[in-house]
Amino acid sequence: MPEQSILIIGGGPAGMEAARGVADLGYRAILVEKRSCLGGMPDEAGYAALTPDFRSASEATAEMVAAIENNANVTIRLNSTVTAATGRLGDFEVTLKNGQTAEKVKAGAVIIATGFQHFDPGRETQQYGYYEFDDVITLVDLEKMLKEHNVVRPSNGQPPERLCFIQCVGSRDRQIGNEYCSKVCCGVASKEAIEVRQQLPNCKVFIFYIDMRMYGYWENLIYWPAQEKYKVSYIKGIATEIMKKGDRLLVRGEDTTMGRPMEVPMDIVVLSVGMESSAGTREMAQIFGLKQNKYKFIETIGGALNTVTTNVEGVFVCGAATGPADLEDTVSSANAAAMKALAAVQRTQRLAG
């Protein structure tokens, strides 16, 4: 008889939602996470409030964990990853490694949910001095400060009077080969800009952008309130260089609306880093023989009409392992992957029976 369990690799929002979907349909999910806890990047990076509804990220994560933690249909393997896989749809055998211990598990289908990593702003060709200047930080660093209600200049512990975001760091950049848009950073920067204004009403906040990309309802929920209610200044411009001037930073570039060079002093510069494929995503692609696109995200074979099926029958993918995705995309694709994985397993059962 074909095996019915679904093995899900990655315990972030995508993996947790896929496990819940499989369990809700009455099947067994085995969820493998390499960290010591579930939650994925929102937990690992310490997100404060989520875009677009400002819901607490910890609360949302706890809700997802609670749905699967004591669920009789879900087996969770923490501190574990997959080191080998053999077999086919209906009959996979996968080796899990936990420290020195290896365990073989059977699964009818596999869902890859190994997510993304943040772009490293210190990478070559990046001219923003992330590793050089203490007061140049990333969206993720600011998120942690917002969570602690302690937005201060790392160089001197003082609250900033002027703070700016630089958009598209590591995305839409042909020079480094990341031509794609990371989808979430315009919304996340605008949300953080609002929170800075809420926590530090005297701090002036600027966002330097190429063009603002707000999807769907994010426009009304974050972009317009940021400008109209919270007086965040959006400046269409390209920042080319950050320098130190006295005890402040000087952002140099071009104001493209006015068509003139700009030089503006700042206390904190926040780099809006984008999304790249994670090491785990690349490893799983190798182990399962999955096609990757030129950016090393896992390629799906159905175009816009099937966003979760890979080139290997019985192996599905969801969330940010397929490319930049917000939580809404992630959760939707996780449910699609759960449904398609179960449908594939049931099909093999019908054929076998």
Ligand X SMILES: Cc1cc2nc3c(=O)[nH]c(=O)nc-3n(C[C@H](O)[C@H](O)[C@H](O)COP(=O)(O)OP(=O)(O)OC[C@H]3O[C@@H](n4cnc5c(N)ncnc54)[C@H](O)[C@@H]3O)c2cc1C
Q: Which residues lie near ligand SF4 (CB under 6 A)?
A: 167-168, 171-172, 181-183, 185-186, 213, 272, 274
DSSP reduced 3-state for 140: helix
Give the strand order in the sheet containing 101-107. 81-88, 91-98, 101-107
Instruction: Let me know: does 349 contact 2? Beta carbons within 8 Å.
Output: yes
CB of 40 to ligand X, least distance (A): 3
Instruction: Let me know: does 19 contact 65? Beta carbons within 8 Å.
Output: no
CB of 255 to ligand X, least distance (A): 26
Burial status of residue 229 (CB atoms within 10 A of its CB: 0-12, 13-18, 19 or more): exposed
113 vs 186, beta carbon nearer ligand SF4? 186
Residue 172 interacting partner from ligand X, ligand SF4, none (CB closer than 5 to 8 Å by kind): ligand SF4
Chain position carrying tokens 């042909």:
174
Chain position carrying tokens 């939650």:
39
- Residue nearest ligand X, CB atom distance: 280
CA–CA gap between residue 54 and residue 147 (Å, rounded): 12
Instruction: Please name which of 124, 185, 183, 177 lies closest in space to residue 295, comparing C-alpha atoms.
Output: 177
Q: Which H or E run contains 233?
A: strand 233-245
CB of 140 to ligand X, least distance (A): 5
Chain position carrying tokens 């009304």:
220
Would you call the peptide bond into 201 cis, given omega within 30 degrees of 0 as the criterion?
no
Residue 168 interacting partner from ligand SF4, ligand X, none (CB closer than 5 to 8 Å by kind): ligand SF4
Residue 213 interacting partner from ligand SF4, ligand X, none (CB closer than 5 to 8 Å by kind): ligand SF4
97 vs 236, beta carbon nearer ligand SF4? 236
61 vs 167, beta carbon nearer ligand SF4? 167
272 vs 333, beta carbon nearer ligand SF4? 272
CB of 139 to ligand X, least distance (A): 4
CB of 243 to ligand X, least distance (A): 25
4 vs 171, beta carbon nearer ligand SF4? 171
Question: In the chain, what are the helix, strand and coil shares in percent, each to the nearest 5?
Answer: 30, 30, 40
CB of 219 to ligand X, least distance (A): 15
Q: Is the dihedral of CA 172, 137, 60, 99 positive or negative?
A: positive
Residue 327 interacting partner from ligand SF4, ligand X, none (CB closer than 5 to 8 Å by kind): ligand X
DSSP reduced 3-state for 285: helix
Instruction: Please name which of 304, 285, 297 lies closest in space to residue 324, comparing C-alpha atoms.
Output: 297
Residue 13 interacting partner from ligand SF4, ligand X, none (CB closer than 5 to 8 Å by kind): ligand X
Residue 298 interacting partner from ligand SF4, ligand X, none (CB closer than 5 to 8 Å by kind): none
Question: Identity (one letter) of the amino acid at 159?
Answer: P
Which residues of the shown chain bind ligand X in the complex (CB under 6 A)?
Answer: 9-15, 32-35, 40-42, 47, 50-51, 81, 113-116, 118, 139-140, 184, 188, 275, 278, 280, 283-284, 319-321, 325-327, 330
Within 13 Å and on the Cβ side, how many CA atoms surround 13? 24
2 vs 12, beta carbon nearer ligand X? 12
Residue 171 interacting partner from ligand X, ligand SF4, none (CB closer than 5 to 8 Å by kind): ligand SF4
14 vs 214, beta carbon nearer ligand SF4? 214
CB of 155 to ligand SF4, least distance (A): 25
| Alpha-carbon dihedral 277, 278, 281, 286, rounded to 10 degrees | 90
264 vs 327, beta carbon nearer ligand X? 327
Instruction: Please name which of 179, 60, 45, 50 lies closest in space to residue 118, comparing C-alpha atoms.
Output: 45
CB of 13 to ligand SF4, least distance (A): 18
